[in-house]
Amino acid sequence: MGFLTPNRGALGGTKIPLSIIVLVLCGFMFFVLLYTERISLMSSSSSNFLRSKSCPRKNISSKPSKRTPNLKTLFLPYFCIFFLSCDASNISEEKVREERSEKMDVLDDRFEFDPEECNVAAGKWVYNSSAEPLYTDESCPYIDRQFSCMKNGRPETDYLRWEWQPDDCTIPRFNPKLAMNKLRGKRLLFVGDSLQRSQWESFVCLVESIIPEGEKSMKRSKKYFVFKAKEYNASIEFYWAPFIVESNTDLPVILDMKKRVVKVDSVEDRSKYWEGADILVFNTYVWWMSGLRMKALWGSFGNGERGAEALDTPVAYRLGLKTWANWVDSTVDSNKTKVFFTTMSPTHTRSADWGKPNGTKCFNETEPVKDKRFWGTGSNKQMMKVVSSVVKHMATHVTVINITQLSEYRIDAHTSVYTETGGKVLTAEQRADPMGNADCIHWCLPGLPDTWNRILLAHL
C-alpha cells in the first residue's frame, strides 16, 4: 500500500491548464458542428450575435469576396473568443478580411462624415510618416511649373505628410474612383484666380491616373481650361476670373494696382461658360487685397478710369459678391446644380505672425503652426464676414467650405523659392534672396490643395 501513496499524491496535485480545456471543448464543438445538422442550423440563425463578438472594424482591412464561410470558420473562432477574449482572433482575421468588400468600406467611411455636424475648420495637422500623395509633379503632366516644388528643387518632403484631422469627425480619404463616379455625366467647374486654378489642377491630378491614356484629354485657352474623361462622360474645368466679376485686369494683367478697375455690377462676359455646370466651385479674395481701397465701376469700361469710384475694399467686395449672388439666384437650378464657395486662402508674408520676427516670410518653414488660436495678418476676417452675409441672404443654397483656418497653420506648404517668375524657374541667385522672391501666397502641388479637394469630395 505504501508504494501507491506517491502516485495518488501526484495525481491529486496535477492541474490541467485552461487552454487545454478550451481546445478540447473547441474540438468537441467542431466535431458536433460537422455532423449535426441541427447545430449547423442553430449556428446559422445566431451568426449575427456571434459577429458582434469580433474585434473592432478599424483593425480589419477590406478585400472583396463572394465566398460564404463554412461552419468551421464561422463558429469556432467566436467560441474561442468567448473564453479567451479575442486571443483566437487570428484564426478568423483573414476570412473576415475576405468577406468585407472595398465598396462597403468606402460607404462606411462616407457615413462617418456629416457636413452638417462636422466642423472641418476646427482641428489639427497630424504627421503621418507613411502618407504618400496620390500623384507627384513628375507623374501628373497637368501641374503648372509655378506649383511644382519638387521639380523646382525643394529638398525635403515632410510637407506632404501632414494630414488634417478635425476635432469631432473624420474626413474620408480622397478616392479617385468614387470621385469619378460622382462626376459621371457631369461638369465640375472651378471659377477664380490662380489659387483656384491650383485646386483645379489638384483635382485633375488626383483622378487622372485611373483614366486610360486614350480616354482623357486637356484643352487650354487663355481663360478656360477643360479636362475631359470620356469613359465617365465627365469634365473638370477651370475658368479664370480673379474677381469673379469683370475687371480691366483679368487678361492681360495690369501690374500697376492703382490702374486696376473692377466692374462690380457685371459677370455677363463670363457667365456663359458657367451655365449648365453641375457643380460650381467659386473663390475670390487675394486679388481684392491690393490696398485699403479699390476702384469700382458701374456700366461700361468705355470711359476708362474716369467713371470709376474708389471704395473701401470690403464695400467693393460686397458689391461684387452681390452681383455674383444675383446671377446664381436668377440662373442656377439648385435641383440640378450644386454651388460651393471656398473661403480665402491665407498668405504668410510676415513671419512675426508666428513668432519669428527675424524670419523671412515663409522661407525655410518645415512644419505647420501648432497653436490652434493662430490667425495671421494675411487673412481678413472682415472679408470673411462679407462672404457669410451675402451667402446668408441668397435664395439658392450655397455651401461655404471654410479652408482658411486649416490653411492658416500651413506656413510650410507654400511654393516659397521653389517656383517660377516670368515663366522661368528661380535661379540660385534669386533663391538666395527669399525676401524678394519667396512666394508665400501659392501652394505646392501635391500639397495643401489636395486637402481642400478631400473636403470638397466629402461634401459631394
329 catalytic? Reply is: no
Other CB atoms within a 10 A radius of the CB of residue 18 amount to 10
Strand partners, 266: none
**Spatial distance between the Cα atoms of 108 and 44, rounded to a whole number of angstroms:** 25
**Spatial distance between the Cα atoms of 67 and 150, rounded to a whole number of angstroms:** 45
Choose the catalytic residue: 137, 250, 353, 439: 439
312 catalytic? Reply is: no
CB 381 within 8 A of CB 370: no
Half-sphere exposure of residue 33, counting CA atoms within 13 Å on the CB side? 18
**Spatial distance between the Cα atoms of 182 and 98, rounded to a whole number of angstroms:** 26
Amino acid making up residue 18: L
**Spatial distance between the Cα atoms of 154 and 184, rounded to a whole number of angstroms:** 36
439 catalytic? Reply is: yes
Choose the catalytic residue: 202, 412, 416, 442: 442
User: By C-alpha distance, which of 55, 58, 61 is closest to 84?
Assistant: 55
Choose the catalytic residue: 40, 194, 271, 290: 194
Strand partners, 280: 189, 339
**Spatial distance between the Cα atoms of 300 and 2, rounded to a whole number of angstroms:** 123
**Spatial distance between the Cα atoms of 309 and 311, rounded to a whole number of angstroms:** 6
CB 26 within 8 A of CB 76: yes
Amino acid making up residue 19: S
Strand partners, 191: 239, 282
Phi, psi dihedral angles at 279 (to 5 degrees): -135, 120
Residue with cell 466679376: 245
DSSP letter string over 268-294?
Answer: TTTHHHHTT-SEEEE---GGG-SSSEE
- Neighbouring residues of 178: CB distance < 8 A, sequence distance ≥ 6: 106, 457
CB 225 within 8 A of CB 177: no
Q: Which residues are catalytic?
A: 194, 439, 442
